[in-house]
A and B are shown apart, each in its own frame.
Chain A
Amino acid sequence: RKEVEQDPGPFNVPEGATVAFNCTYSNSASQSFFWYRQDCRKEPKLLMSVYSSGNEDGRFTAQLNRASQYISLLIRDSKLSDSATYLCVVNPTDNTDKLIFGTGTRLQVFP
């Protein structure tokens, strides 16, 4: 089983749509969780951290369910510029900056 699993997509949605991505992780002791965005042929960039209580940043909402080892990202009012690959990322321990990446979910927003 992969350490971090995501649906690869692609998700093709119209502008203004709401889209949700899911991610599961295998290590129950994992400490930190993130969503990164990666544009084609570019480095990943931090979109947001994911906190146990859930957190929101503008149109983006992230949630964590430790019991189910499940992370989600919700994007509201999708923009064309949201088209990218969204990476679910997990830090499996508390004493290292090692990050485990999911394969990513590709989002394509069309006019």
Chain B
Amino acid sequence: GAVVSQHPSWVICKSGTSVKIECRSLDFQATTMFWYRQFPKQSLMLMATSNEGSKATYEQGVEKDKFLINHASLTLSTLTVTSAHPEDSSFYICSARGTGTGNTIYFGEGSWLTVV
């Protein structure tokens, strides 16, 4: 079946640095990808919708200058957390649907970010 892969699975970074998380669709073309964030014991919150070749659409309250999203190809979207702070520590997860997947939305394995 279709697979969405995220990298890295775990990352620890220093406060003030930037971290890039990749989301790849391995066997289908993902015209749209979604980025979510999940804090402990909370639900997944949609951060932004990433469309291939165009600017991402951010949800209310999500700083687009802090969370940079790039969807340069049909198989890759990246989320860059710029100037990370401890409060950005969270589980970041992407999902995708594209040609050949029908109505199924596939999730990546998620990336745990810890900012120290």
- Are B97 and A97 within 8 A (Cβ)? yes
- Are A43 and B107 within 8 A (Cβ)? yes
- Are A87 and B43 within 8 A (Cβ)? yes
Closest to B36 in A: A101
- Are A42 and B110 within 8 A (Cβ)? yes
Interface size on B, residues (CB 8 A): 21
A-B contact count (CB 8 A): 43
Interface string of A72-88 (1 = CB under 8 A from B): 00000000000000010
Q: Which residues from A are CB-within-8-Å of B112?
A: 41
**How long is the Cα–Cα vector from A43 to B32 in the complex, in angstroms?**
18
Say whether A46 faces chain B, with CB atoms less than 8 Å apart: yes
A-side interface mostly:
loop
Contacts A44-B107, A97-B95, A99-B105 supplied; 13 other A-B pairs, CB < 8 Å = A41-B110, A41-B112, A42-B110, A43-B109, A44-B44, A46-B105, A87-B43, A97-B32, A97-B34, A98-B46, A98-B49, A101-B36, A104-B43
Residues of A within 8 A of B (CB): 4, 8, 41-46, 87, 96-104
